[in-house]
Amino acid sequence: MGIVMKKVVLLATALAIVSGSAFAADLRVKAVKAPPPVAFDPWDIAFGAALMNDYVFRGITQSNHKPSVAAYFEPRYNINKDVQLYIGAAGESISFPNRAAAEIDIYGGIRPTVGMFAFDFGLWGYLYPGGTCYNAAAIPGSGIPGSDAGCAVSPFGNSDPVTGGLPINGNFAKKNASFYEGYAKVNITLNDQFAVGLNEYYSPNFLNLGAWGNYASITGKWTAPSTTFGSSGVGMYISGEFGRQWLGTSDSFYGTGAIIPAYAAGIPEPSYNTWNVGIGFTYKVFTLDLRYSDTNLSRGACNAFTSDYTAKVQSAGAVSAINPGGFESNWCGATGIVKLSADLTAITNLK
């Protein structure tokens, strides 16, 4: 009996040791499979660059239909996964009537996300350094709104205030075309393939013309399924936008009082519609975008609005109260845009 009892005790002890060892091993395996949670890092930086054959802003070329380069840098702070604060700086090469050759953008805002709705509210400043004033009628110290003490006199001379502006056509251009806009945007992701957006921008002094500006647009985008090009990593989308730019009345710097006395205090800047549609291809951080852009502005109205330094008289039909010289500009017409860009973020691309 004693021998049997000893065997039972020894067997129980062995089972306990084996069970304890297995339990401990199980604990070690579970510890390996459950690493500590990754700490939330609220900071990120987005940056990128682009090369395009034409820099078009709301349907109007900013580079005289010539190539342009661009770059941006945007620090971001994520309050949580649904609210992001950001500031940024960007630059583009341009060709403006006042001879400014660069656009510098300073902007900032907040991006809240609520379900399928991605909002964006902020303020955007457009700076155009290096400009020259062209308006022989803007006599230094005259008090004319927008006149510059360094206003240049063209070869046409001060004797003719209508043509005493840009050398080719006499258009006027302020030394400073800088301005700012407040904006509100929302992008609605309907599903993995379709998204639509609404945009609103307002400036109390658009392009420093003395006229207020209001731009509203609707956008749409279709993104092809990720399997469209197999496992190549190439993506594709089709997108478009339709918008309207409303404009107020300029100040007297752009007035046509020498010919149209009723507009001596300024001209009613022409409001217009603009639209674009295009197809894009993506690969890793790169995007190739091919786009068609146009507006409903006539060549004469385009000249009155842009002060295009290349505008020429082509027909008598371009003469109007806001364009008494009859010059015509092709800066607002149909154009094709080819843009190659690279966009990165520190968290995603620089780990």
Q: Which residue has the tokens 């046409």?
A: 156
Spatial separation of the C-alpha atoms in residues 137 and 68, rounded to whole Å = 33
Q: Which amino acid is at 264?
A: A
The residues spanned by each domain of the chain are 1-35, 43-349
Instruction: Please indicate whether residue 162 or residue 340 has the higher confidence score (pLDDT).
Output: 340
Could you tell me what percentage of the chain is helix, strand and coil, using 3-state DSSP and rounding each to the nearest 5?
A: 15, 45, 40
Per residue in 80-125, pLDDT (tens digit) is: 999 999 999 999 999 999 999 999 999 999 999 999 999 999 999 9
Does pLDDT of 160 surpass 80? no
Average pLDDT over residues 44-50: 98
Class of domain 43-349 as given by CATH: mainly beta
Cβ atoms of 240 and 279 closer than 8 Å: no
DSSP characters over 146-199: T--TT-B--TT-TT-TTTSSSTTT---B-S---EEEEEEEEEEE-SSSEEEEEE
d(CA 30, CA 106): 51
Sign of CA dihedral 188, 189, 195, 201: positive
Phi-psi region of 266 (alpha: psi -120 to 50; beta: other; left: phi over 0): left
The pLDDT tens digits of the residues spanning 274-325 come to 999 999 999 999 999 999 999 999 999 999 999 999 999 988 889 999 999 9
Helix and strand counts by DSSP (H, E) for the chain: 3, 16
- pLDDT, residue 141, reads 40
Q: How far, CA to CA in Å, does 97 sit from each of 167, 217, 233, 311?
A: 10, 27, 43, 10
- When the pLDDT of each residue in the chain is averaged and rounded to a whole number, the result is 86
Could you tell me the CA-to-CA distances from 288 to 96, 227, 234, 237 in Å, in that order? 26, 19, 11, 10
Three-class DSSP category at 180 = strand
pLDDT at residue 97, as a whole number: 95
pLDDT at 25: 44
How much is the pLDDT for 203?
98
Dihedral, CA of residue 155, residue 156, residue 162 and residue 165, to nearest 10: -10
Q: DSSP per residue over 42-75, as a string?
A: -EEEEEEEEEES--EETTEESSTTS-EEEEEEEE
> What global pTM score does this model have?
0.84
**Cβ atoms of residues 75 and 101 within 8 Å:** no
List, for residues 258-275, the tens digit of each pLDDT value: 788 889 899 999 999 999
* 54: pLDDT strictly greater than 50: yes
Q: What percent of the chain lies above the pLDDT cut of 90?
A: 70
Instruction: Tell me what pLDDT residue 262 has.
Output: 86
